[in-house]
Amino acid sequence: MQLFIIMVSTQKKPKATRILGIDPGFGRVGFGIIDCVGDRYTLVEYGCIETDTKRTFVERLVDISDELIKIIRTHKPNCAAVEELFFYKNV
- pLDDT tens digits, 37-61: 988 999 999 999 999 999 999 999 9
pLDDT recorded at residue 15: 77
Whether residue 1 has pLDDT greater than 50: no
Tell which residue, 62, 56, 64, 52, has the closest CA to residue 23: 64
Amino acid at residue number 13: K
Q: What is the mean pLDDT of residues 63-79?
A: 95
Give me the numbers of helices (H) and strands (E) for the chain, helices first please: 1, 5
Q: Helix H segments across 1-91?
A: 57-75
CA distance 8 to 11: 9
pLDDT recorded at residue 86: 66
pLDDT > 70 fraction of the chain, expressed in percent and rounded: 77
CA distance 63 to 67: 6
Partner residues linked to 40 by β-bridges? 37
Q: What is the mean pLDDT of residues 63-78?
A: 95
72 pLDDT band (50/70/90 cuts)?
A: very high
Mean of per-residue pLDDT scores for the chain: 85
Amino acid at residue number 39: D
